[in-house]
Structure 1
Amino acid sequence: MAAEVEVPPGTTLALLGPNGAGKSTALRALAGLRPLTGGVVELNDRTLDDPERNVFEPPERRSIGVVFQDYLLFAHLSALDNVAFGLRARGMRKHEANAEAAEWLDRVGLAQQARNKPRQLSGGQAQRVALARALAIRPDLLLLDEPLAALDAATRIQIRAQLRKHLDEYKGATVLVTHDPLDAMVLADQLLVVENGAVVQAGTPAEIARRPRTDYIAALVGLNLYRGVANGVTIKLDDGGVLTTAHPMDGAVFVTFPPTAVSLHKNKPEGSPRNTWLAEVAGIEQHADTVRVRLTGTPDLLADVTTAAVAELSLSPGLQVWVTVKATETHAYPI
């Protein structure tokens, strides 16, 4: 992963990417659980890992708190003792550590569960205990490894909102590892998208959602993405086909449009829609309140339609339909 990345205090950076992309490797390197073979890790102007200079600070000497995907709470300790563990390991007396731990449990809304052991806690409660344990040592850097992955969908919504609140209050830097785009978009100030061990795009959530630069990112944010060469408002696509956009450009470009911008028709539409082509239905899936239709053509695309439209058009795999996309619904930007 060749990139120089800085995470200022008070901000959250999300490493977003598919499984096996290298996200967890990066997090383990920051935590000191996997020494670097190249590059440098610095925290508050202190070098933690620099193989060229033979510098390596072990995990216990780094001012870093970690919340692992499975939380890794000590099963034999109460919630209070779990949170107090790091404080006592750093030399704080038991009474003071317990008082500090109790205060942190209160902050995350678990004062009443202080004496409960991990097996007595729900998934959401265990996640908050793990967060309190990581924050109690007042680290300069907080690492979150898929912190919501173990939660069910309903709990995840609630805990995501609570986690955002705690991150807003945290004065240190945070690095979040996730493959869930919603977690990244809601929790992070900056995104670093990683594919095959390399950084492929960086920016704010809004920038990346508006201008994806790989098929993986486009799929995450729900856009049809193509590459091509623009000549005015006409874009000749690399994989075949031509799209017309509303604003003239020249040279190599990406062009996107959302599946909701696609209209499907039994017959070729009357008039002169700027983007019209024949496509074949390859698959149909229910997506919340809409139906996602996968179509092959020149180019291939995804369309979101209503269940009423599916019935009206008698959509089924193998059926040919006419596709239209308004030029004003497309968005082109330089490669």
Structure 2
Amino acid sequence: MTLRADLSVHIGDFTLAAAFAVERGTTLALLGPNGAGKSTALRSLAGLQALDGGAIELSGAVLDDPTSGVFVPPERRSVGVVFQDYLLFGHLSAMDNVAFGLRARGIRKPTANSAALDWLSRVGLAEQARRKPRELSGGQAQRVALARALATGPDLLLLDEPLAALDAATRVNIRSQLREHLDQFPGATVLVTHDPLDAMILADRLLVLENGSVVQEGTPAEVAQRPRTDYIATLVGLNLYRGVADGVHIKLDDGGVLTTAHPAEGSVFLAFRPTAVSIHRTHPEGSPRNTWRATVSGIEQHADTVRVRLSGTPDLLADVTTAAVAELDLAPGRAVWVSVKATETHTYPV
């Protein structure tokens, strides 16, 4: 185990309480909405925010333990950080930025510069070694920041929204490159992000925070398949409900009854994808299915489909084609029928 963290931090009326561990060679993504506590957790790990309780242990060494009075300052921690805005030194070249941490640790300039050039080569920027940050593209600046964080050989790498400042086209390429570097990094990595795609692609495990608390933890597949809050369900694109099962019938907490193909008992979550929803102008005929009245409350383009928000008992999201929007004459306020086959739903315990 490389990192063990039990974080308890109080900032005004906000409290963060989260415990997790990260193995060497793996990446943990802290995922959550704004104000969930992700940045507070990262600042605590970096030594920029002292704990009020709990402890942080990295590679067997205690970094922060208020009970015993131990607090290792940021500059003495074996931690590399890539900040959201990269925070490169504007007056230094790319090479000098990467060499900065090494020089700060007492390594002579020629040796530090040689190591910096090696790292710039690893991230494909050897030819930009003499350029200042203002002469670099967003993607290049991100890679310089990553090289600077890795050059000192840290036991822990912290990434704070590392792709947020990039445009969509650049993000795809840099995300792929970043994954390759993380796969080669021997230490532990903690990634802070609000982007589910970044988390799903870059991380081995997810820790989802809401309002300062951990609401779910697991592999990307586990979290995507069995979300436990509305926030997570929205991120992974599922309709999610909580209710009480009596065989194949689920009485939903917010009203309505849905049928599933797999019997269950007691408190459960029920989920299905927006693509499983069919919209009709009149009551649908045919095979048994969940059918109820709803009203279109919103329509928006969503990737290659159109996402339709529907108010009913229960509310739901449906993904349909642009042609279907025209054929059904969908518009806000339109009353429709919706249906979901029982076989398209799945349940799991609360």
C-alpha separation in 2, matches of 1:237 and 1:181: 27
C-alpha separation in 2, matches of 1:188 and 1:15: 9
Q: Which residue of 1 aligns with 2:319?
A: 304
C-alpha separation in 2, matches of 1:288 and 1:205: 21
C-alpha separation in 2, matches of 1:200 and 1:237: 21
Q: Which residue of 2 aligns with 1:154?
A: 169
* 3-state SS in 1 of match to 2:81: strand
Q: Which residue of 2 aligns with 1:195?
A: 210
Alignment of 1:165-204 (within 5 A): 165-204=180-219
Q: Which residue of 1 aligns with 2:348?
A: 333
* 3-state SS in 2 of match to 1:40: strand
Is the Cα contact below 8 Å between 2:22 and 2:188 reproduced in 1? yes
Indicate whether 1:265 and 2:273 are aligned.
no
1:125-144: CA deviation from partner (whole Å, max 9, x where unpaired): 00000000000000000000
1:131-184: CA deviation from partner (whole Å, max 9, x where unpaired): 000000000000000000000000000000000000000000000000000000
Q: Following superposition, which runs of at least 4 residues in structure 1 exceed 6 angstroms of deviation?
A: none
TM-score by length of 2: 0.95
Alignment of 1:154-303 (within 5 A): 154-303=169-318
How far is the alpha carbon of 1:286 from its aligned partner? 1.1
Equivalent pairs: percent with the same residue?
78
Is the Cα contact below 8 Å between 2:305 and 2:320 reproduced in 1? yes
How far is the alpha carbon of 1:45 from its aligned partner? 1.1
Indicate whether 1:42 and 2:42 are aligned.
no
C-alpha separation in 2, matches of 1:158 and 1:67: 18
How far is the alpha carbon of 1:33 from its aligned partner? 0.4
C-alpha separation in 1, matches of 2:21 and 2:211: 21
Is the Cα contact below 8 Å between 1:273 and 1:325 reproduced in 2? no
With 269-278 and 199-208 compared, the bigger mean Cα shift is at 269-278
C-alpha separation in 2, matches of 1:302 and 1:191: 25
Out of 77, 81, 90, the position equivalent to 2:105 is 90
Q: Which amino acid aligns with 2:138?
A: G
Is the Cα contact below 8 Å between 2:18 and 2:212 reproduced in 1? no
How far is the alpha carbon of 1:3 from its aligned partner? 3.5
C-alpha separation in 2, matches of 1:128 and 1:271: 56
Indicate whether 1:120 and 2:135 are aligned.
yes
1:77-120: CA deviation from partner (whole Å, max 9, x where unpaired): 00000000000111111000000000000000000000000000
C-alpha separation in 2, matches of 1:126 and 1:107: 14
C-alpha separation in 1, matches of 2:233 and 2:138: 31
Count residues with an aligned counterpart: 335
1:183-217: CA deviation from partner (whole Å, max 9, x where unpaired): 00000000000000000000000000000000000
1:242-276: CA deviation from partner (whole Å, max 9, x where unpaired): 11111100000000000000001111011343200
* 3-state SS in 1 of match to 2:40: helix
Out of 332, 341, 344, the position equivalent to 1:317 is 332
How far is the alpha carbon of 1:287 from its aligned partner? 1.2
Extract unaligned runs of 5+ from structure 2: 1-15
How far is the alpha carbon of 1:4 from its aligned partner? 2.5
TM-score by length of 1: 0.99
Q: Decide which structure has greater strand share.
A: 2
Is the Cα contact below 8 Å between 1:273 and 1:324 reproduced in 2? no
C-alpha separation in 2, matches of 1:208 and 1:14: 12
* 3-state SS in 2 of match to 1:208: helix
* 3-state SS in 1 of match to 2:19: coil
